[in-house]
């Protein structure tokens, strides 16, 4: 669709035999424009109808205009109108070239959970491996937080959670309100401004506002779920449909972990939570993998075991429906899975598909669903110009990491220290893959520092949206690296911030990493199953940690005192970056725009 701001400034000067005429293009609707000959008497409005999505134009000169077709002025005017038509057609075609965009967002999937990232994986992920081979994978990519809700806020806002002024938490029950504040420009809203239709399907988990029958806002918690007044609460004031999404089918929290267990469709709750859910009604693969499924209140017929099959079907329905009803508009879809979050409940058809137990089967389900999604866009004939991004919200769960190491010699953290919740690399270094056959050269791996927050600025750059300085303040444009137009040796990011479970900060600058806290920043390694992974602290008096990841990727040797000058410089930089009006992204960001990217076939 040609948007008004793309065409409103087009201006041609037409010189007649007697006096100049000014021709201005205006687009009152997507399918009809008008040419205004300002100095004619009376002024002429010439309608121009578009007969095709690439700007095939029909211009009608009314017979009552009094302008002779033999006039030299008319010939000049028509010549200029033809030029304008060509420019308009070009703009129209450029708009139609905007890619469809799909984000597959995994849950608690570690750096070592895909075989393309981990050659020693206990199972294979053939479809995601193939996706990476057909595009680019980032080897130094990170989630903005080491837990669910803050990372999802980072995806949809391009910001770290510290920009909200709120504490770091993973919402439960009717917990909220949304981290996405009213009036804040979200990723979906930005794309809608550029003509996209948008949809999200699966896990939402950025907080929602629920009310009781007295109109009081509820907090999280088990009993609070029974106090919800669905009539007063819906349509949800801070649900996906009020944060930029045209269509949505989501769960409020972790779909199989945290009650409230209900579905939210386009801001409404079709079936309230009225039944008591007990975990012992679910299968318990291996006698332990049901761990972390909480008792609570659920809607009748709520899906636990095949949750992601349902989310996949909703995603495909959106894409196919969009192609049927809006074939000339691009779409943006988020397939927000709950694999491989606890509890581990692979769908029936995926049980036993690997030799790595229930969690191996669970990840194989994710791999297969991603493959089916890629197959679907190929069958729809839109594969070449669809950008698919695969990413995870944080590192692998603690007991999952321990069980997979013990039972299957599989390291979900990919050899890094730490796990979900931790500030060490295993808590936030995650897979990040992008595939776009028309624009991203295949078979590439990048060591560029990247973050989930960067998806915002990257997509803005593709669709030609100039980000205001107060939007997505922690988001860098990765498009030059994805498209292969910037050398790998030239860094996109000079530094990067992440936050661990309680909101503590970690700062990367090149190969150096400073942790502004003692210990993990998340899990307790002094007891339980994690005690075996505790490392002795050589400098226990240090208030923080400093590591050279090039020499010490396992974060074993704390250089807090021996590299004091570098540590002090990073501490000073950290204070600047996290202040109230702080930012990590540059100001004055300019989009590259798709028109400036050479097609892969031309390189």
Residues 80 and 124 in one domain: no
* 125, 35: one domain: no
CA distances from 11 to 2, 46, 317, 557, 593 (A): 16, 15, 42, 64, 22
Domain with 487 in it: 97-503+585-595
Q: Tell me, yes or no, whether 423 and 405 share the same domain.
A: yes
For residues 214 and 303, state if they share a domain: yes
In a domain, residue 328? The reply is: yes
The average confidence (pLDDT) of the chain is 88
- Establish if 510 belongs to a structural domain: no
Residue 559 lies in a domain: no
> Where among 95, 116, 145 does a domain terminate?
95
Residues 189-238 have pLDDT tens digits of 999 999 999 999 999 999 999 999 999 999 887 778 999 999 999 999 99
Q: Which of 42, 71, 95 is the last residue of a domain?
A: 95
Sorting pLDDT into bands at 50, 70 and 90, what band is 71? low
Question: Does residue 40 sit in the same domain as residue 115?
Answer: no
In a domain, 159, yes or no: yes
68 and 197 fall within a common domain: no
User: With pLDDT > 90 as the criterion, what percentage of the chain qualifies?
Assistant: 81
Q: How confident is the model at residue 161 (pLDDT cuts 50, 70, 90)?
A: very high
> Within this chain, do residues 309 and 451 fall inside the same structural domain, yes or no?
yes
Residues 259 and 388 in one domain: yes
Q: Is residue 580's pLDDT more than 70?
A: yes
pTM value is 0.85
Same domain, residue pair 440 and 357: yes
The count of structural domains within the chain is: 2
Q: Is residue 558 part of a domain?
A: no
Asked if the structure places residue 513 within a domain, the reply is no
Work out the number of other CB atoms within 10 angstroms of the CB of residue 120. 11
Element (H, E) at 578: helix 564-578
Task: Tell whether 531 is covered by a domain.
Answer: no
How many beta carbons lie within 10 A of that of residue 204, not counting itself?
A: 28
Structure tokens given for 360:
């191996």
CA 322/CA 331 separation, integer angstroms: 7
Mean pLDDT is lowest, of 61-65, 165-169, 458-462, for 61-65
Residue 342 belongs to some domain of the structure: yes
- With a CB cutoff of 8 Å and minimum separation 6, the contacts of 210 are 174, 176, 217, 218, 224, 228, 233, 236
Boundary of a domain, candidates 95, 113, 133: 95
């Amino acid at each position: 669709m040609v948007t008004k701001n793309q065409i409103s400034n087009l201006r041609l000067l037409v010189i007649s035999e007697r006096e100049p005429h000014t021709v201005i293009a205006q687009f009152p609707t997507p399918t009809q424009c008008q040419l205004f000959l300002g100095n004619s008497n009376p002024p002429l409005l010439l309608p121009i109808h578009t007969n095709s999505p690439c700007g095939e134009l029909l211009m009608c000169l009314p017979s009552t205009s009094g302008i002779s077709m033999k006039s030299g002025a008319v010939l000049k005017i028509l010549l200029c109108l033809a030029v304008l038509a060509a420019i308009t057609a070009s703009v129209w075609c450029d708009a139609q070239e905007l890619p469809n965009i799909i984000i597959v967002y995994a849950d608690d999937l570690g750096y070592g959970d895909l075989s393309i990232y981990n050659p020693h994986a206990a199972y294979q992920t053939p479809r995601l491996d193939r996706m990476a081979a057909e595009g680019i994978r980032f080897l130094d990519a990170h989630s903005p937080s080491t837990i669910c809700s803050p990372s999802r806020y980072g995806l949809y806002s391009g910001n770290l959670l510290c920009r909200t002024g709120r504490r770091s938490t993973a919402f439960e029950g009717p917990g909220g309100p949304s981290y996405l504040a009213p009036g804040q420009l979200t990723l979906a809203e930005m794309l809608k401004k550029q003509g996209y239709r948008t949809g999200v399907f699966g896990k939402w988990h950025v907080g929602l506002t629920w009310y009781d029958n007295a109109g009081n806002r509820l907090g999280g918690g088990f009993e609070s779920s029974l106090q919800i007044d669905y009539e007063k609460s819906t349509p949800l004031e801070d649900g996906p449909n009020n944060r930029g999404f045209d269509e949505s089918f989501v769960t409020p929290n972790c779909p199989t972990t945290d009650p409230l267990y209900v579905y939210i469709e386009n801001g409404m709750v079709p079936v309230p939570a009225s039944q008591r859910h007990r975990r012992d009604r679910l299968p318990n693969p291996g006698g332990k993998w049901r761990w972390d499924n909480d008792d609570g209140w659920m809607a009748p017929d709520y899906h636990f075991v095949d949750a992601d099959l349902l989310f996949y079907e909703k995603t495909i329905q959106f894409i196919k429906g969009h192609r049927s009803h809006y074939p000339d508009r691009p779409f943006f879809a988020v397939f927000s899975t709950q694999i491989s979050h606890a509890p581990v409940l692979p769908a029936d058809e995926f049980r036993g598909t690997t030799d790595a137990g229930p969690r191996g089967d669970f990840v194989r389900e994710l791999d297969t669903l991603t493959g089916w999604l890629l197959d679907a866009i190929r069958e729809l004939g839109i594969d070449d110009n669809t950008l698919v991004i695969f990413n995870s919200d944080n590192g692998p769960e603690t007991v999952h990491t321990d069980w997979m190491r013990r039972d299957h010699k599989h390291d979900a953290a990919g050899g890094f220290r730490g796990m979900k919740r931790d500030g060490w690399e295993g808590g936030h270094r995650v897979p990040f893959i992008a595939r776009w056959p028309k624009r991203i050269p295949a078979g590439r791996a990048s060591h560029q520092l990247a973050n989930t927050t960067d998806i915002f600025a990257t997509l803005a750059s593709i669709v030609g949206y100039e980000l205001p300085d107060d939007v997505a303040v922690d988001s860098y444009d990765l498009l030059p690296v994805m498209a292969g137009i910037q050398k790998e040796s030239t860094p996109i990011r000079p530094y990067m911030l992440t936050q661990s479970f309680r909101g503590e900060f970690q700062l990367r600058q090149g190969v150096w990493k400073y942790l502004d806290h003692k210990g993990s920043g998340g899990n307790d390694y002094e007891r339980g199953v994690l005690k075996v992974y505790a490392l002795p602290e050589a400098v226990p008096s240090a208030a923080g940690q400093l590591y050279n990841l090039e020499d010490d990727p396992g974060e074993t040797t704390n250089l807090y005192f021996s590299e004091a000058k570098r540590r002090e410089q990073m501490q000073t930089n950290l204070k600047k970056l996290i202040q109230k009006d702080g930012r990590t992204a540059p100001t004055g960001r300019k989009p590259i725009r798709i028109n400036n990217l050479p097609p892969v076939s031309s390189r």
